[in-house]
Amino acid sequence: MNNIVTQLGQSNIAALRMRAVEVEGAVYGARREYAKGINGLSDIAWYKDGVTLPDTVKAEKAEYYKALKAIGYSNPSNAWKMVKLYAFEAAKEEGLFGEVADSEAGEGEAGEAETREVRTMTLRMVEELSKLHKACMKMREANDATYTGKVSAAHHHVIEGLKAMGVDVGA
């Protein structure tokens, strides 16, 4: 009898696993299409950190959060982060907002990008360098004593790195 229960349990788990995979596939595809659609609402690279969202995108984000919260979604900001990533990837594929598709080493094979939710190296560098740049700008504007010559010199290199990635930092 125990063997029958184990077999039934494994069969049930397999069915639940398949259902979970089907749903994840649908979510993944829907988010990618949603992100492409949002790119059509803007004439700027709205998905980059530090960019002030256009009113149309800001309103859409608010509606998305409201809808996710209505279904009890526990982390709307994580879902929005994925939408931003997919918008960036779609912009690269379509050549929007000055984005250029790249074939950098380390980004994986073409099929791998569709099965894993990871940041491309380009996106990672832009996000991380942007965070450093913002922090340094705040320190500099506040005349923070820790904004030393070394930090200033490093900040210069962060700005150069952002420019090399095609980001207009206005500095």
Instruction: Identify whether residues 88 and 138 lie together within a single domain.
Output: no
Tell me the mean pLDDT in the region 91-120. 63
Instruction: Identify whether residues 133 and 57 lie together within a single domain.
Output: no
Looking at residue 51, the DSSP 8-state letter turns out to be P
Instruction: Identify whether residues 26 and 97 lie together within a single domain.
Output: yes
- Helix or strand (DSSP H, E) at 72: none
- pLDDT number for residue 3: 59
Per the model's pLDDT, the better-predicted residue between 109 and 102 turns out to be 102
Asked whether 162 and 169 are in contact (CB, 8 A), the reply is yes
Count of structural domains within the chain? 2
Instruction: Identify whether residues 97 and 125 lie together within a single domain.
Output: no
94, part of any domain: yes
Tell me, yes or no, if the pTM score tops 0.95: no
What is the number of alpha carbons within 13 Å of residue 123 lying toward its C-beta? 20
Determine phi and psi for 166, rounding to 5 degrees. 90, 15
Instruction: Identify whether residues 52 and 97 lie together within a single domain.
Output: yes
Q: Which two tokens stand for residue 57?
A: 């995108």
Parent domain of 164: 121-171
Asked whether 45 and 98 are in contact (CB, 8 A), the reply is yes
Asked whether 34 and 27 are in contact (CB, 8 A), the reply is no
User: Which pLDDT band holds residue 91 (cuts at 50, 70, 90)?
Assistant: very high
